[in-house]
Amino acid sequence: MKNIKALGLLLLAAVIGLGAAVYAAGWVSQQGSIASNKVVVAVSDIELGSKINPQMLSTIDWPSGSVPAGAFKEIKDVQDRVVRVGVLRGEAILEGKLAPIGTQGGLSAVIAEGKRAMTVRVNDVVGVAGFALPGNYVDVVVNAQQDKSKGEEGKQISKTVLEHVLVLAVAQESGRDDTKPKVVSAVTLELSLGDAEKLDLARSVGTLSLVLRNQVDQLTVDTAGITKNQLFGEQVEPVALPTKVAAAKPRIAHSRPVVASASECVEVIQNGSRALNCF
């Protein structure tokens, strides 16, 4: 009797173990199906403007419920595409990070639509001691001599001519991951066509300075600039502007007989005629 009871317990344990194994296998299979989607990721850091090759990429399983929008499933879909922003190792390759199909590599691939790239010469002072790096935003200030007015000398003035301008590259480097200051001799800015014309005129009439601004500050402030007299608080005498005087109507002088006092006049009678002579 005892042997039969023990055998029954062993059989029950075997059934429970078998059920647990089947359940575990099903759970593992279910978990595997959740992460079955393939996503293309970078296996090394890719700098902006670089053309993608297969050696830079790999595919990994990504949870189906959290696949980012614009992700690719196969490496061949992104081969020879150009990245518009830097991509870090392990990061998914997304359509929004790529330049249009057919774009060649280089700085031109990262210029926004409708914008232009323009380079200006700088030094350690103009270039904000090398802190104006790719990806930063700057304002452009020009110091120039104003045109001379009539009767006045041209005034020296400093004025902000451009605001919130994106730095595309410093010297020949366009990477945006470095935060170490770099003193260079040239900075490339991203501008609209109209702003490019302003900048070209500004650098031809005066000296330029770059003013580094907070990356998230997008407010613009319209200033009138400042002259040397305003800087030192000198009082400027107001210049009297010529007033327009209405033309006076010509007056016609009407002759009137002059009546002199009796003490200065003499009555002369000659040949029967009388005349009054006044002195």
Q: Which 3 state secondary structure label does DSSP give 82?
A: strand
> Is residue 32 a contact partner of residue 9, using CB atoms and an 8 Å limit?
no
Mean per-residue pLDDT pooled into runs of 10, the chain (279 residues): 70 81 74 69 87 90 84 89 87 89 80 89 84 90 81 79 91 74 88 94 91 87 86 64 50 49 63 68
Assign domain 37-106 to a CATH class. Answer: alpha beta
Write the DSSP symbol of residue 77.
G
Question: H or E segment at 200?
Answer: helix 193-205
> Is residue 207 a contact partner of residue 127, using CB atoms and an 8 Å limit?
no
Q: What is the pLDDT of residue 160?
A: 92
Cα–Cα distance, 113 to 69 (Å, whole number):
22
Q: Which residues pair with 274 in a beta bridge?
A: 269
| Token pair for 264 | 């200065």
Task: Say how many C-beta atoms besides its own lie within 10 A of residue 49's C-beta.
Answer: 24
User: Which amino acid belongs to residue 17?
Assistant: G
Q: What is the pLDDT of residue 248?
A: 47
Q: Got the DSSP string for 2-40? A: HHHHHHHHHHHHHHHHHHHHHHHHHHHHHHHHHT-EEEE
Q: What is the pLDDT of residue 127?
A: 81
Q: What is the pLDDT of residue 113?
A: 84
The reported pTM is 0.60
> Is residue 118 a contact partner of residue 189, using CB atoms and an 8 Å limit?
yes
Q: What is the pLDDT of residue 245?
A: 46
Q: Tell me where in the chain the CATH 3.90.1210.10 domain(s) lie.
A: 37-106
CA-atom Rg of the chain in angstroms = 44
| Token pair for 21 | 């194994």
> Is residue 88 a contact partner of residue 118, using CB atoms and an 8 Å limit?
no
* Distance between first and last Cα of the chain: 178
Cα–Cα distance, 26 to 87 (Å, whole number):
38
Q: What is the pLDDT of residue 262?
A: 47
Name the pairing type of β-strands 206-213 and 137-145. Answer: antiparallel
| Token pair for 107 | 């700085």
